[in-house]
Amino acid sequence: MFPTPIEKTSTASQWIYKVALPIALLLWLLPLLAVAMTSVRSAGDITAGNYWGWPTSFNLLENYTAIFENTPIGKYIMNSFKVTIPTVIGAVALSCMTGFALGVYKFKANLLIFFMFVAGNFVPFQILMVPVRDLTLSMGMYNTIGGLALFHIAFQTGFCTLFMRNFIKALPVELIEAARVEGVSEIRIFWYVVIPLMRPAIAALSVLIFTFIWNDYFWATVLTQGADTQPITAGLYSLNGQWVAAWHLVSAGSIVAAMPPVLMFFLMQKHFIAGLTLGAVK
């Protein structure tokens, strides 16, 4: 029997998928592979213009040792942890409470408050740059790790609230009503009933926010300056200025800077996927 038009279309789609997927994957990984290869090149390769060819020698140990011995990259990484970890804890904790209030309680201003949280996510960063910088200067928090972390907590809470409110809204209402009938207080309902059910969502949101804040470059350069306060993203730019043409060392620093969020994703991969797909299949 000859294949039907539907079978022909299905076969063509599978063939296109098998060809297009490896090409798309290669194009997506090409910049990362180029940076990884550059990070192990020698200074002679960079001077000779050998940016894309096979390295004449692999200086893995020398390059990665040099960035820690000759630069303050270790301090930049610690600054990133000092900014990112409090931001994740603060934004997720606040969004759990606001998401619970907006997802469980019914009051007149519920939607209005929720829309205010959502609307903040659509304000362009460039518009906020000048007023936020002036505010931190007037409060004496400019060029401080605490000031940068507080700003990130305030700005990320809107997105986190959207995430948590929708998640809590999908939880079985009967569990909360049953706890109320038993005389359990609202605080205990939140802590002992809702929070355990939110663990996958909390894990998924923590990974997302950790990645967002760790990779932030815009606010790191607007609100901080110098090795004492700048996170790793802004610190890499200063290393670029320090080494002008030493792209092999800058690339090595970039690989080191990318490792913490990658490691966190693989460590939390099970919980991350569970949090994103929970409720997708009934």
Ramachandran region, residue 144 (left: φ > 0; alpha: ψ -120 to 50; beta: rest): beta
Instruction: Report residue 157's pLDDT band, with 50, 70 and 90 as the boundaries.
Output: very high
Residues 6+ apart with CB under 8 A from 133: 142, 222, 223
Cβ within 8 Å of residue 13, ≥6 positions away: none
- With contact defined as beta carbons under 8 Å apart, do 96 and 162 qualify? no
CA dist., res. 204 & res. 166, Å (int):
14
Give residue 52's pLDDT: 77
What does the block give as tokens for 184?
């359990």
Measured distance CA(235)–CA(170) in Å, rounded = 42
78 vs 125, residue with greater confidence:
78
List, for residues 198-250, the tens digit of each pLDDT value: 888 898 899 999 999 999 999 999 999 888 999 999 888 777 655 456 788 88
Per-residue model confidence as pLDDT tens digits over 101-128:
999 998 888 989 999 888 888 888 888 8
For residues 180 and 102, what is the distance between their CA atoms, to the nearest angstrom?
18
